[in-house]
Each structure stands twice: as structure tokens, then as C-alpha cells.
Structure 1
Amino acid sequence: MPRPRIVIVGGGFAGHNAARTLYDTLGDTAEVVLVNTTDYFLYMPLLPEVAAGVLDPRRVSVSLSATLPGVHCVLGNVYKINVLERTVNLRTQEDQEVSLSYDRLVLAAGSVNNLLPIPGVTENAHGFRGVPEAVYLRDHITRQIELADLTDDPAERDSRCTFVVVGAGYTGTEIAAQGPLLTDALVRTRPRLHGQRIRWLLLDKAERVLPELDPRLGRTAAKVLAKRGVEVLAGTSIDEATATGVRLTTGRGVASRTLVWCVGVRPDPLVEDLGMPTTKGRIVVDEYLSVPDHPDVFACGDAAAVPDLTRPGELTAMTAQHAERQGRLCARNVAASLGDGERRAYRHHDLGFVVDLGGIEAAANPMGVPLSGLAAKVVTRTYHLIAMPGNRLRVAMDWALDAVQSRQSVQLGLVRSPEVPLDSATPELPDNKPKS
């Protein structure tokens, strides 16, 4: 009898954990295939530290082949899934078309930037969903400080030294907290900029920082931001963006050459093309992470509308914590559908969150216990080292070096602005073929 083939679409927190658990459970009795656009698992929680110059980009890029032995990793962009014929169609990085058949399908396509219909945002803002964006942002910030040092025009200097972050959620707050540490290091070696005002603005329509987390975490983060001079504009967003500034919803204009877009995420558009029921753009699944009327299809992570059994009537949040745990449970339920074990419902109790605010500052609430300062920093970094599937020693070494050495203040020039468009959810397909 041929081995059943299980195809997993997406190599993020959900897909990576599903692939590893499936192979650990089924071994060589099944063929596990993971389809991903890159050959690495991206540990996104540490991306702000890449942008701030603390971590090398390779530290957050964990090799799939090294951490998933026994799993067949296929590089490509999935553009069509036919659930009736049980096929997944993708294009490789060299534009070769590949069709994979499957016996079981796990949809873990993840999420992309959440775009809003605000004039100029798509053209002038940059998101923060991957290594290219983080590397570009670090170069861009460095470039603005260098150009500010060259000009004698006070207005231009002020605009280049003003950095706007929209979205005071998890990612936006960390970027706004880490940013001043980077710009302070850059200005320190440039005497002409001594005394120059460096502005960091953090905007959000919500009335507080980290609105989706415990208010105590938000208060801790707000204190750190205030200490570093970050201007938090609660209840405020932007109405328009240009290459030289933004217009706030209050009507005030802010001259700036930097706009970082961190206004949440939305499920990958691939989900919309499947012809399956969705809610809020996410695939409808039951508590076992199975798609109704499609017993051979499962979904987990940001792409799945998983019912939250701890809060009846609500869906689980689109967080790495949920994605990681759903990926593991989804794998066990897929194995159960093949006769190995029994399926279980997804039920998750919040274990707390950690927010790294740069330097020795952090905010954490492990098991509901609020922590700040050095204690929170220890908990935060310990959590990340445990959660990462690889590169732990290299990450720890970068942290140690950052603690005793000044940050490198050079542009790498590897990523240009056109290569990191904000609307990166629908990459152009070869030969202009439409997605279907």
C-alpha cells in the first residue's frame, strides 16, 4: 500500500509545528510535505530586534530542513487548491509549475498586512512581516540619520529625524520602543546632530498601548515609551500619507520620511479562493480543526477561524501562541484521521504574554503575574529561547554582544524600497496568470 501523503501549506508557527508533530507521530508510515515560500521558519517575535540592529537577520531565520528531518520541504508559492481533485498547485522560485496530490491537507497559510483605504499608505508605508522588511527598515532609519547629518536645511533635517509608527499593538509597540535606542546610537557618532530633536510617534485608534493585552502590560510599555521620549497619540491615526509626511486624523500634519505600518493582519488571500465557508476572512473549522464537509482538509493558525471553547461564541486570536499549539493539535488530529490515536478538541488557556521593549526593559505576565524591568526581561528572553526551534545559541550570543558593544551603524543596501511593497499579499504570478 502506498504511504498517505499529507501536504501542509505554510511554514509559520502553525505549519512548522504541524509538520514536526506529524513526522514524530507517524514516522515513515506517511509522507509529510511542507510547502513554503522560503526555506526557513521565520521567528517573527524577534523581528523588531533585527530592525533595531540587535540581531543578525539570519538568527530569526531557522532552517526548515535542519529542524524538520524526514519532512519533504518544497519551495514555492501556492496559487490554486482543488479540494475536489485533492491537488495543490504551486510555482517554484524559478517559475516551474508543480502539482501535488494529497490524502490529507493542512492549511496553515498564515496572514499578511492588514491594509486600510487611506490615500498614500500603500505607496509610502512599509509593513513588518518578514526579514526583508526588517532589514530595509534598519537601512532606512540609518539612511535618514545620515542624510539629516548632511543637510543644512532645518526643515529637512527635522523631517528625516521624525519616525511615525502606526499601530500600538504587539509589533508596533516593540518597534517604537526599540527605535529610539537605534537612533540614539546613530546620532552619538555624528556631532552635527548633537542637540537635534529625534522624534518617534506611535499612533493608534485605541485609547491605550497594547489594547489587546492585559492593561498592566500596556501601562508598563507606556512608561518605557514615555521615558524614551516616544510620543504616543492614542485615539489617533492618519488620513493621508505622502513621501514627505502624514496628515493625522486630528487634521495636524507631521513632516516625516518614515512611516511604519503595523495595523494588524488579515488571513492570506489564498483562503478566499478555496470556495470554503469563511468568517472574517478565515476558514471555518470545528473544534477539531477540521473543515466541515471536507474530512480530508484541516486548517490552523491565522488562516483558520478556530472556535474558542474557553470563550463561547468567540474565535481564537491570531497570535503565535495559538498558532503553535493549534499546529501540534492539528497534526495529532490528522494522524487520528489516518487511524493513529484519537482526535481532540482545541482548548487553550492563556499562559501570558511577553513584550520586549529593548535595553533592559520588557513587560510580561507569565501565568497572570505582572512583571516589568529586569525580571520581565529575563522571562521574555528565556521564553523566546525556549520557543525558537533553532539558532538559540547564536541569538544568545548576539544579545550578549549587544550588551557590551555599540551597535553597528551601517547600511547593508541589500533591500530596496520597491522590493518590500506594503501590499505584499498578492505577488505577481508568472505570465500574469490570475489566481484561482
Structure 2
Amino acid sequence: MHDPPESNVSRERIVIVGAGFAGYQAARTLSRQLRGRAEIVLLNPTDYFLYLPLLPQVAAGILEPRRATVSLPGTLPRVRLVLGEADHVDLKAAKVHYTGPEGVGGELPYDRLVLAVGSVNKLLPVPGVAEYAHGFRGLPEALYLRDHVTRQIELAATSADPAESAARSTFVVVGAGYTGTEVAAQGKLFTDALVRNQRRGPYGHRPGKPRWMLLDIAPRVLPELDRRLSTTADRVLRARGVEVRTGTSVKEAGPAGVTLDTGEFVETRTLVWCVGVRPDPLVSEIGLPVERGRLCVDAQLNVPGHPEVFACGDAAAVPDLTRPGEYTPMTAQHASRQGTVAGRNVAASLGHGERRTYRHNDLGFVVDLGGVKAAANPFGVPLSGLAAGAVTRGYHLAAMPGNRVRVAADWLLDAVLPRQAVQLGLVRSWTVPLESSSPELARVPGGPGKE
């Protein structure tokens, strides 16, 4: 075990675990508040912050992969990045144990700790899902899905068996929340364009019209949002040809297709698992009180009984002061704002600034449905069509902490040029297992593992 070299051991050390929405904002806030008066260390498996809402556009070929990322070293001055995954938090010794990208262990002592480890894929006990489904939480998964979908359409065009061609042109998405809805909406447009560009195969046919199915046990798509947004999204999906099956899920998955809980068997080679997320299990293993896997904190994001420990984002059960008795939902909007408050309160605990209480009313939600279609309700005003599309993309540009010009440029190019439908072959199916607790990292066979 070793500790990365440090330049000044006399300063207070703040360790932030995780660079998602919450961790990134906490690091940026502390960098601005303290300006070198404390050592800020950010522990993260990658050197970038991933703007998750843009992943469906990466999978659909609208955006290049790096467009959805923001460099940590390039945008966080006075923050030292340590690459690694946290394995264990020792509260008594005030140390975070981690494993680096090449399998070497290390530890980071801290004076203040911010836990912002986020969430991981939620798995259900459905036979075959772990083996034949793929999640959608990281860049490797998005890149794999783009290659996989392109490959299925190309193989469908060259198959001599109409049944096989139809199976390869069928795509099943489970989970009609934000991610699943956007993946199905963007994916249908993507595959329709792929089929239009296909020449007739050696057996004299093109692949049939791609079939996309969106399943959810809930009674409607986007069940967590306002019903008007749900209705708009449902209408757009159905008009586009997506089969929306509410009150339905997968009973079993296999190499040739999936069996629905209605008894119907759907032949497919593609199962995308977007059922939802659960808090990173790291916080449950610390030994502190949790609420449904989320670390309990007070309204100032402090862990009771441990004034040196703060938590924010999906892994923290933050009291919702706008809805007494409830906790804030696991959304990027809350996570980013909690990160800012956590950063301010950590700085205040070191004598810089004043503590703040976390309180936030939702500003509305946006769902990008591809093309010029979207559903949005900024400040409670329901929008659809072109207006919603403009608001949605404007919101994403404003919310991204960097890379805005490149994202906008890709959107412009996509509007005037055809997409490049090619397989890169960089990510294979076995490198992005659904059960991975770190979807941001591809799992290379034979590579270093955790000790």
C-alpha cells in the first residue's frame, strides 16, 4: 500500500470520492472557495466528469464520445486527481483505501471527507439478464451499444434467413425512465437511418423496418415525472414506431431472445437494461446508518456523529426540506446542487465562509426524444415539439461545466450531414458486463483486478 506523493503535508487535506455531478461540483466549489489554503484530492476511476444525459446521443452517433466528457485536470485548478476506485473507508484511521487502474492499492488519509460515489446499475433476479443484457451507465456501454446496433443491422442485411434478419432488427429496452425512454427514442431514429443507407444484401433484400420495444412494469412511461411529460413522450414514441408496453417486463433472457411476463417470446439479439440505479454499495459497508442504501446525512450534508464526513448525490439520503419527511430524489439536478452546498460547508468547517442548509425546488425536467422532438416543463410550464427541443438542448449546454462549443458543433453537423455509421470495434460485449459496479471502466480480460 502506498500514498501518492504530496507536496505539502502541513495543510488540511480534503478527500472527495467520486467525480459525478455531486463530486465534481464539490471539487469545483472547494477549489474556488479555498484557493490553495487546503489540499484537495479527488479520487475517481477516470480523468473526466461524464455528463450522463448525453450518453443516448453518443450511442446514436450524434455526439462523439469525448463530447459528453469534461476533463478533471483541465477544469479543476488546485485539485489533485488520484485515479482509482475506493474499496473501503476507515473512519477510525481517517483513511480511504483504493485500487488504482493498474491494480496497485493505495490509501488516502483525510481531515475532511466528501463521499459522492453515486449509483450503480440496479439488477433484478431475472434469469439470463446478467448474461445477455447490457446496461447504460458509462461511455464503454454507450460505445458498445452503438457498435452492436450498427452490426445487427448490417448482419440483418446479409442474412439468408428472414427470421434471423427480423431478430437482429429487433431491439428491446427495459425501463421507461429517463434513460430507457431516450435510448429507445434516439435508437429508433438511428436504426431507421441505418436501414435507409443499406444496399440490398446478397440475398436480394434489405433488413426489415427496425422494431424497438420499450418495456416497463409502471403504468406509463416516465412514471416519476409529471403526467403531461409522460403523455408527450408516449405520443412521440408511438408515432415513431416504438412499441411501448407498460405493465410489462422481462421474465427470462436468453441468447435467442427474451420471454415477457405475459408469456410472449420475442426473438432479439439486443436487450438494453435501463431499469434504474441503486446507491453505490460502498456507503453501506462503512458501518454508518443508511436509508435504502443511501448514507444518512443532515440538511447540511454532514454525517451525524462525524463532523469530518460529508456525503451528497445519489449515495446520500438528504432530507428534502420542501417535502418534510421525505428524501431528495436521485437526480442530477439535486446531485450537482448538493455538491455545491457540500463544498461550501466543508470550506466553512475549515473556517472559510458560512455553512448552508440544502433546500432546492425542482426547476423542471427535460427529456430529449431525438430530432427536434423533446418533452420539457421548465418552471412547471409544459412544452413539446420544437420549443421543448430548444429548451432541452439549451438546458444541457448551460448545465455542462465545459465542452459546450464542441457539443453544439456536433449538433450542428448532425443537422446538416448524415451520421457516420461505422463499427469501431473498440469495446467488446464481455468488457461491459451488466453486473459491473463501475460502468465507466471497460473490464479487460486478464487485466488487473482488485486485491
Name the residue aligned to 1:393: 405
Name the residue aligned to 1:382: 394
Q: Which residue among 155, 170, 180 is the counterpart of 1:172?
A: 180
Q: Which residue among 354, 357, 360 is the counterpart of 1:342?
A: 354
Name the residue aligned to 1:25: 33
Distance across 2 between alignment mates of 1:432 and 1:132: 20
The aligned runs of 1:354-365 (5 Å cut-off) are 354-365=366-377
Name the residue aligned to 1:63: 71
Distance across 1 between alignment mates of 2:161 and 2:103: 48
The aligned runs of 1:307-346 (5 Å cut-off) are 307-346=319-358
Q: Which amino acid aligns with 1:381?
A: R
Distance across 2 between alignment mates of 1:179 and 1:378: 20
Name the residue aligned to 1:281: 293
Aligned-pair CA distance for 1:340: 1.6
Aligned-pair CA distance for 1:345: 1.4
Name the residue aligned to 1:43: 51
Q: Which amino acid aligns with 2:178?
A: Y
The aligned runs of 1:36-435 (5 Å cut-off) are 36-192=44-200, 194=206, 196-425=208-437, 433=451
Distance across 2 between alignment mates of 1:106 and 1:298: 5
Distance across 1 between alignment mates of 2:92 and 2:38: 21
Aligned-pair CA distance for 1:377: 0.8
Distance across 1 between alignment mates of 2:102 and 2:160: 47
Q: Which amino acid aligns with 2:322?
A: T
Q: Which amino acid aligns with 2:300?
A: Y
Aligned-pair CA distance for 1:431: 6.5
Please say if residues 165 and 207 of structure 2, whose CA atoms lie closer than 8 Å, have aligned partners that are also in contact.
no
Q: Which amino acid aligns with 2:109?
A: S
Aligned-pair CA distance for 1:432: 5.9
Kindly provide the CA deviation profile for residues 296-346 of structure 1, in whole angstroms up to 9, marking residues without a partner as x.
000000000011111111111101000000000011111111112221211
Secondary structure (helix, strand or coil) at the match of 1:28 reads coil
Kindly provide the CA deviation profile for residues 44-81 of structure 1, in whole angstroms up to 9, marking residues without a partner as x.
00000000000000101110011101111111111111
Distance across 1 between alignment mates of 2:110 and 2:166: 57
Distance across 1 between alignment mates of 2:449 and 2:368: 43
Q: Which amino acid aligns with 1:89?
A: H
Aligned-pair CA distance for 1:2: 2.1
TM-score, normalised with respect to structure 1 = 0.97
Q: Which amino acid aligns with 2:29?
A: T
Distance across 1 between alignment mates of 2:210 and 2:20: 36
Distance across 2 between alignment mates of 1:258 and 1:92: 33
Aligned-residue identity in percent: 66
Secondary structure (helix, strand or coil) at the match of 1:343 reads coil
CA 1:12/1:432 → structure 2, altered by over 3 Å: closer, same or farther? closer
Please say if residues 103 and 449 of structure 2, whose CA atoms lie closer than 8 Å, have aligned partners that are also in contact.
no
TM-score, normalised with respect to structure 2 = 0.94
Aligned-pair CA distance for 1:97: 1.9
Q: Which amino acid aligns with 2:85?
A: N
Secondary structure (helix, strand or coil) at the match of 2:166 reads helix
> Structure 1 stretches (4+) deviating beyond 2 angstroms?
191-195, 426-433
Secondary structure (helix, strand or coil) at the match of 1:15 reads helix
Secondary structure (helix, strand or coil) at the match of 1:311 reads coil
Distance across 2 between alignment mates of 1:37 and 1:191: 42
Aligned-pair CA distance for 1:269: 1.4
**Uncovered stretches (5+) of structure 2, i.e. residues with no partner:** 1-8
Aligned-pair CA distance for 1:424: 0.6
Distance across 2 between alignment mates of 1:229 and 1:357: 13
Q: Which residue among 8, 24, 27 is the counterpart of 2:16?
A: 8
Instruction: Provide the aligned C-alpha RMSD in A.
Output: 1.4
